[in-house]
Chain A
Amino acid sequence: MLRFEATQLVLRHAGNRPIVSNLGPTTDELWHAGHRDRNFYTYGNMGLCSSIALGMAVSTDEQVISLDGDGSLLMNLGTIGTIGREQPKNLIVIVWDNEQWGQTGHQPSHTAMGTDLEQVAKSCGIGNTETVSDLESLESALLTALEKPGPWFIVAKIQEVEYMPVAPIEPEMTLYRFRNSFKE
């Protein structure tokens, strides 16, 4: 499964729900798949994608989707514990797991060596978890997550391919557009 195709799939089903994207290719590919005001792109703060999504989820009734990454989440595993503690019913965490730190030279990440992020989520009290490795399974898991109260934690195994051009992200404008979309 390619991350870009998976991102397009998520966008097709997301409607107007807020999406937070992890730094680097995840943010770039979300922008290329479809720029919208409800995309909260990050381009720094490695590890905080799902923490930001958690802060959104406890502050809005809308469902919030986090597009995180294995390397980033490994930097801030504690946030899985905080999600388990808070139990936000409207939070869906999707981890693009390529089992590597792609941008730094494709070094294998811990998920290539046995770390199972779905089991981490389960042990932190997140009751709804899946690990998927093809688009059909991802679509099925996502549709269930959009229907059934969360928190949800979906590990999506992806292949790493050529990177897309860097998206023209301006953090200040990202926040401005995103925040204003909640005032309408």
Chain B
Amino acid sequence: MNWAEIIVQALKDWDTSLIAYVPDISIHQVTGLIEADPFFHLVSCTREEEAIGVAVGSYATGRNSAVFMQSSGFGNSINALASLCIPARTPIPMFINLRGGPGEFNIAQVAMGRATRPILDQLGLIHFTLDDDYKMDKIVDGALKLCHANRQPVAVCLTQLLHGGKLA
């Protein structure tokens, strides 16, 4: 399995069938698979905090959910995490295309990309970063298990070194 297929399999293993996202060219390799698979319901949102709200609503009815976004959009979702997910204890896995690392070409993506993990730390949210697919199946599966055990969002940050990224 490639990295995108590993994520899809982990979502299925954890019966996570509602996916809310904002489109992104790099993580489209995953969300394209999800869209084509009848196991999933993919909700295309206008903004990342909206995706968090949709995911929480799904989880509240008993259906596991996850969100996909870019690190710039993570910036749009901070208050939803801080004022909804954390106080209500919702286990929402977040798959974040982490910009601003080696290979970044866009100055406007650097600051938010670099700030993403420190902000997650400040919120007390656990995160893992994947630069390659070594042990990736175990890390993603373990991240989802931890997410549900702790009943808090867990972020899996996917870098350009993993997915090839967007070229200039």
Contact = CB atoms under 8 A, between A and B. Distances in A.
Interface of A: 18, 20, 40, 42-49, 51-60, 76, 78-79, 81-82, 85-86, 171-172, 174-175, 178-179, 182-183
Interface stretch (B46-54, B93-101, B118-126): B46-54
Interface of B: 18, 20, 41, 43-47, 49-50, 52-63, 65, 79-80, 82-84, 87-90
A172 B89 contact: yes
A78 B148 CA distance: 29
A44 B83 contact: yes
A60 B61 CA distance: 7
B84 A18 contact: no
A3 to B, nearest CB: 22
Contacts, number: 120
**Which of B54, B62, B89 gathers the greatest number of chain A CB atoms within 10 Å?**
B54
B20 A55 contact: yes
Nearest to A42: B84
Contacts of A47: 49
B60 A175 contact: yes
Contact of A55 (B57, B82, B83, B88): B57
A96 to B, nearest CB: 18
B57 A44 contact: no
Nearest to B64: A59
A150 to B, nearest CB: 16
